Structure 1
Amino acid sequence: MEDHESQRKVRILCLHGFRTSGEILKQLVLRWPEPVLQKLDLVFLDGPFPAQGRSDVEGIFDPPYFEWFQANEEFTEYTNFEECLAYIEDYMLKNGPFDGFLSFSQGAILAAALPGMQAQGVALGKVDKIKFLIEISGAKFGENRFGMPKLASNAFSKPIDCPSLHFIGEKDFMKAESIALLEAFQDPVVIHHPRGHTVPKLDDYSLEIMVNFIDTIQRMI
């Protein structure tokens, strides 16, 4: 059996939530236990656009705040979506390679669509295939409250063959969307937690699921 010390760390690009930042996501993720963090090489990216309105984390976390793209109030029309994809690809080209994504909320909605878009040749065509996703409070474009950006219109046309780990909060206002997202993936792994719309701490059970998931990824890369 391969010695754990000789396995390279899993390199992950982390995408934050709406009107927050890479630094804020970093503070939340770094609360996780050492047995998980020691396996990961985490890179936290800020969204390309400064927040265009008030952030829900004002007074809790310091600015600046960013967003990945914009949508109208009904989430039926999106702007700057192509620019966002180009920004992420450019960052990955200059700072990669990356094995997969860890993402929260708006970042997780975006990341969930990336493997399908990449397979269709409409996004991330210049970088390596995405090997896995870790989705925290994720959702699917085209499901319930979220419309579909044109570029993502076929992202979920067939089950996504990409290992995925999904955090679903019992009190999360996006719980239904996070559950619906599971159906888009061939073999999703799920961690349920009692919290709301946040990056939860890991209890012993969640830790075991996550370590097993990361071990599986390490054997793949």
Structure 2
Amino acid sequence: MENQTQRKPRILCFHGFRTSGEILKKLIGRLPEAVLEKLDFDFLDAPFPAGGKSDVEGIYDPPYYEWWQANEDFTVYKNFDECLEYVEDYMIKHGPFDGVLGFSMGATLAAAMPGMQAEGVAFTKVPKLKFLIILSGAKLGGSKFGAPKLAANAFSSPIACPSLHFIGETDFMKPEGIALLESFVDPVVIHHSKGHTVPRLDGKAEETMLKFVEKIQMMP
């Protein structure tokens, strides 16, 4: 009986580069019903309108947004501090949230959050994150991306926050996703055969995700 009335963990979700919360909502809808019914998702649009063409034009309707801007090789960032303030403000007004989920650019943001929280440089006015779900993620300050000032030490200590990572076999971000695992103490990983997307899960992957969900449901 207790299981049926169990509170659903609340998850704040961050979409990919030049997409939207609505688009991520559609993608997350591909996950198994057995997983979706146990979680409460809140899909947030990034604070800045897309500054250029979106890769999903013609597939998904606009508007499209981005979390922050950077130069072409992602070494210099603009508006990163504003992005963090925007997200924290939303978390204060609409939270509390138990954890965060991110896809692509949103996953890069999500992955850095526990470290920034631990450092006391961001997200200090909201409860400590209990878990992360990272789809096609990367590390700020990794081989592909520089680190904005506030995220400079986000990965300086091993991250003990429970995390579930999706890594696609044909995803161009696969090397970054694998490298990101080294920053986490005990990451749970789902490998899938698809590319840079939210995959439909086979039986074994679904089982892995359900186990992770059951674990986070038990957290106080």
CA distance in 1, matches of 2:80, 2:132: 20
Residues 135-180 of structure 1: CA distance to partner in whole angstroms, max 9, x if unpaired?
0000001111111111101100010010000000000000000000
Deviation of the 1:34 alpha carbon: 1.3
Q: Secondary structure at the match of 2:73?
A: coil
> What amino acid does structure 2 have at the position aligned with 1:139?
A
Aligned residue in 1 for 2:185: 186
Aligned partner letter, 1:9 = K
CA distance in structure 2 between the partners assigned to 1:136 and 1:56 by the alignment: 17
- What pairs up with 1:12-161 in 2 under 5 angstroms? 12-161=11-160
Q: Is this contact kept in 1: 2:35–2:210, CA < 8 A? A: yes
Root-mean-square deviation (CA, aligned residues, Å) is 0.8
Between the two proteins, what is the percent identity of the paired residues? Answer: 69
Structure 1 residues 9-37: Cα deviation after superposition (integer angstroms, max 9, x where no partner): 01000000000000000001012221101
SS at match of 2:146: coil
Aligned partner letter, 2:108: I
**How far apart are 1:215 and its partner, in Å?**
0.4
Q: Hey, what's the Cα distance between the residues in 2 that align with 1:195 and 1:33?
A: 16
Q: What whole-Å deviation, never above 9, does each CA across 1:88-127 have from its counterpart, x for those lacking one?
A: 0000000000000111000000110000000111010100
Amino acid at match of 2:191: H
Normalising by structure 2, report the TM-score. 0.99
| One-letter amino acid of the counterpart of residue 157, structure 2 | K
Residues 169-205 of structure 1: CA distance to partner in whole angstroms, max 9, x if unpaired?
A: 0000000000000000000000000000001111111
Paired with 2:147 and 2:33, the residues of 1 have a C-alpha distance of: 38
Once residues 170 and 33 of structure 1 are traced to their aligned partners in structure 2, the CA distance between those partners, rounded to angstroms, is: 20
In 1, Cα distance between the equivalents of 2:205 and 2:45?
27
Tell me the distance in 1 between the aligned counterparts of 2:40 and 2:148.
31
Contact 2:30 2:198 in 1 (8 A): no
TM-superposed CA distance for 1:3, in Å, is 2.8
AA of the residue aligned to 1:24: I
Q: Secondary structure at the match of 1:220?
A: coil
- Amino acid paired to 1:12: I
Give CA-to-partner distance per residue, 1:31-83, whole Å, 9 cap, x none.
Answer: 22211011000000000000000000000000000000011011100000000
Instruction: Work out whether residues 99 and 130 of structure 2, in 8 Å CA contact, stay in contact via their aligned partners in 1.
Output: yes
2:31 partner SS? coil
- Structure 2, gaps ≥5 residues long: none
- What secondary structure sits across from 1:5 in the alignment? coil
Aligned to 1:208: 207
Question: Could you list the runs of 4 or more consecutive aligned residues of structure 1 that deviate by over 4 angstroms after TM superposition?
Answer: none
